[in-house]
Amino acid sequence: MMWDGLHWPSRVCVTCALLPTSEHSNKPVLPLLHCFTKKHIHEHAKNKRHNLAIDLLYGGIYCFVCQDYIYDKDMEQIAKEEQRKAWKLQGVGEKYSTWEPTKRELELLRHNPKRRKITTNCTIGLRGLINLGNTCFMNCIVQALTHTPLLRDFFLSDRHKCEMQSNSCLVCEMAQLFQEFYSGHRSPHIPFRLLHLVWTHARHLAGYEQQDAHEFLIAAGQGQQPEPLQLHYRPNLHWGLQSDVTCQVCHGVSTTIDPFWDISLDLPGSSTPFWPLSPGGDCGVVNGESHQSGATTLTDCLRRFTRPEHLGSSAKIKCGGCHSYQESTKQLTMKKLPIVACFHLKRFEHSAKLRRKITTYVSFPLELDMTPFMASSKESRVNGQYLQPVDPLNNDNKYSLFAVVNHQGTLESGHYTSFIRQHKDQWFKCDDAIITKASIKDVLDSEGYLLFYHKQFLEYE
């Protein structure tokens, strides 16, 4: 939306609604509300020749002649002041205010000879973690989190403001970990404080027995403390999963949307029957994954996850249209995509009769397009196949791989490692205290247990 004049003086010209020139800027401003996406503001600019408008969200000045934003120092300061006033009225205080160095800090920056220039060969951020006794499950997740771009930017810009009285804040320890990782030190870090806090907040992970890396990831994000880590990175990993239940008699649809932490995917070889590909379908490349070798792909797993499922006569649901219990089908699709997407491949099977690890190889791509699995694309799928051609210019739902967690061994005895991306096409293997360079082939040939992707293009709300 463009400028509506809500927080500006009400003295406006009744003819053209222009504000008088203010002391902050010599540019007239339009106090008229028009939407940008539907081009209403464009029509107004063309008809009235009012070529300057203000973006309501960020306070930026947009020029319709240049078709670009114009930087104005005075306007930026006004926008900041108005933001502070709006946040104060809403009772949220200083929300995500930008850091502006003081004179003392500027002086320190000028005279600090240790400032580092980040290059493509830079190894800052790469640091091993000492295994404190079967703690590889924690180390591999810490490596993935410390190389999550948005988390890194958040913690290194000193955004966390702790309100806890004790020294048991898990988020504070994560902030300290980021400082340790990006300090430039090469010696392995000993995460004893993090382990202590994990044991404190997640009792089921306490002790030196072997633990599940996926359970640690969930515990880190949903910790039972006044300010769990999820408050800072849960929005980045948060899925909006749409469930559509369709009555088989009247075809009425009941829709619910629930938040999910990650997506857990069934694999071939488990006791749950795996939905096969259509005969002769998709023998080419989808999402950079080839079916020619006969390997199961991440796309296959997502197709199975989002396929319609018949609930059967033993699971009848009361239909709002029929006013009686009827058989139905259920289908899951993605209503809202997270900025950082985590896929959990269900390699550990626990049942009354069976406890085992599933070692089925699953091919996963460096770049992933989630468009076929969106709720908006549901009508374009037949038998799980997405029939519409994927638009290569539409980047809204495209992701890039940046971390992979692997498990070697059996259900009873094993070891976790991780691959992390430092720069574009530069990968490293993290095996507790040992960091070694890895190739893209090493990454893509690995078994895969947890796959971390981040959006290629961010949408700001």
The answer to whether 62 and 55 have CB atoms below 8 angstroms apart is: yes
The full 3-state SS of the chain, as one line of letters, equals: CECCCCCCCCCCCCCCCCCCCCCCCCCCCCCCCCCCCCCHHHHHHHHHCCCEEEECCCCCEEECCCCEEECCHHHHHHHHHHHHHHHHHHCCCCCCCCCCCCHHHHHHHHHCCCCCCCCCCCCCCCCCECCCCCCHHHHHHHHHHHCCHHHHHHHHCCCCCCCCCCCCCHHHHHHHHHHHHCCCCCCCECCHHHHHHHHHHCHHHCCCCCCCHHHHHHHHHCCCCCCCCHHHHHHHHCEEEEEEEEECCCCCEEEEEEEECCEEECCCCCCCCCCCCCCCCCCCEECCEECCCCCEEHHHHHHHHCCCEECCHHHCEEECCCCEEECEEEEEEEEECCCEEEEEECCEEECCCCEEECCCCEECCCEEECHHHEHHHHHHEECCEECCCCCCCCCCCEEEEEEEEEEEECCCCEEEEEEEEEECCEEEEEECCEEEEECHHHHHHCCCCEEEEEECCCCCC
* Catalytic residue (one of 50, 136, 291, 342): 136
Distance from C-alpha of 333 to C-alpha of 305, rounded to nearest angstrom: 8
Q: Among residues 40, 42, 196, 415, which one is catalytic?
A: 415
Q: Is 415 a catalytic residue?
A: yes
Residue 272 CB contacts under 8 Å (≥ 6 apart), including other chains: 266
Please name the residues in contact with 75: beta carbons below 8 A apart, sequence gap of 6 or more: 24, 25, 27, 54, 59, 60, 61
Is 13 one of the catalytic residues? no
Q: Cα 420 to the chain's mean position, in Å?
A: 16
Backbone angles phi and psi of 317, in degrees to 5: -120, 140
- Determine contact, residues 428/191, Cβ cutoff 8 Å: no
User: 405: which residues sit within 8 A by CB, 6+ positions away?
Assistant: 140, 141, 144, 213, 416, 417, 418, 449, 450, 452
Q: Looking at the annotation, which residues are catalytic? A: 136, 415
